[in-house]
Amino acid sequence: MAPTATAPPREPAPSWADPNALRTSFTLSMSAMYKAEVPAYGTLLRIVSAVNAAALSSSLDPHVLALRHGSSRLDIERHGAIRLGTPRELRTVRRVFALVGLHPVGYYDLSPAGLPMHATCFRPVDADALARNPFRVFTSVLRPELIRDAEARDVALGLLARRNIFSGELLRLLDLADAQNGRLTEAQGARFIPAAVATFRWAGAAAASAAAYQRLAAAHPILADVACFRSAHVNHLTPRTLAIA
């Protein structure tokens, strides 16, 4: 009798990365990068940690008391901010943030404050994700049509058209996630976090000449800050504190 054919063994199902865990890795990596770039930020974190420890041990505020047995959220930044130059950059950042469980909420017109920008806030949107890690990123995008100096505007648009703030590795992982229904495996997630964080790293070499920078800064400081650099560097990070004197 002929031997019975056997089906090849099934490959194990992939282990998908948890967006909440990716968000925490992303937040911690952003914090470490920013501390290296701005040493005073590390000093701020140490001060805030000491203030929070004192508040947890002595405060009678019920909201503070509730944190005594779940204070890990205190050690993670609550808020960050970045500035982007083009709608294309915003679309790609949206894909990046979606993989770490951050979604656009709200619209902010910043022009009444004299800023040629509009913005949204990328944040977790459900209770479980907020409880795990409430980190959010206020994300503003340049509105060149609000720049009155036409020559400065054209210089800025030329600089932004030539720059690419996203690495090839990051774009490949984003395309891979799209093909996997918006998910990454744990191994892919480990590659994704450093590639994503690098987008927001300070680039020491400007993309513009000193003369171009000065021209854009004269038109509006925001225009120079956004258009003259090679990355969407972190504008600021904000830790969570329980007491402000």
Please list the residues that pair with 120 across neighbouring strands: 139
At 150 the pLDDT is 95
Domain assignment present for residue 51? The answer is yes
The confidence score (pLDDT) of residue 64 equals: 61
182, 114, 183, 104: which is closest to 143 by C-alpha? 114
pLDDT tens-digit profile of 49-102? Answer: 888 888 777 766 656 655 555 555 667 788 999 999 999 999 999 999 999 999
In a domain, 10, yes or no: no
Per the model's pLDDT, the better-predicted residue between 9 and 107 turns out to be 107
Give the pLDDT score at 48.
Answer: 87
Q: Is residue 135 part of a domain?
A: yes
109 lies in some domain: yes
102 in a structural domain:
yes
As a whole number, mean pLDDT of residues 185-213 equals: 94
* 147 secondary structure, DSSP code: -
Contact indicator for 90, 41 with CB cutoff of 8 Å: no
Contacts of 120 (CB under 8 A, 6+ apart): 104, 105, 106, 107, 108, 139
For residue 124, pLDDT beyond 80: yes
pLDDT of residue 76: 78
Query: What's the pLDDT at 57?
Result: 76
Average pLDDT, stretch 211-235?
93
pLDDT computed for residue 52 by the predictor: 81
Asked if residue 12 belongs to a domain, the reply is no
Query: Residue 65: which domain range?
Result: 19-238
pLDDT for res 29 = 95
**Rounded CA separation 152/51 (Å):** 45
Please say if the pLDDT value at position 242 is more than 60: yes
Q: List the CATH number of the domain containing 190.
A: 3.10.180.80
The region that residue 236 occupies, defined by phi over 0 for left and psi between -120 and 50 for alpha, beta otherwise, is beta
pLDDT tens for each residue of 165-188: 999 999 999 999 999 999 999 999
**Does 79 map to a domain?**
yes
For the chain, give the percent of residues with pLDDT over 70. Answer: 88
161 pLDDT above the threshold of 90? yes
The mean predicted confidence, pLDDT, of the chain is: 89
Residue 2 lies inside a defined structural domain of this protein:
no
Lowest-pLDDT choice from 93-97, 127-131, 156-160, 180-184 = 127-131
Number of domains in the chain: 1
Report angle CA 233, 140, 126 to the nearest 5 degrees.
100
Coil, strand, or helix at residue 2? coil
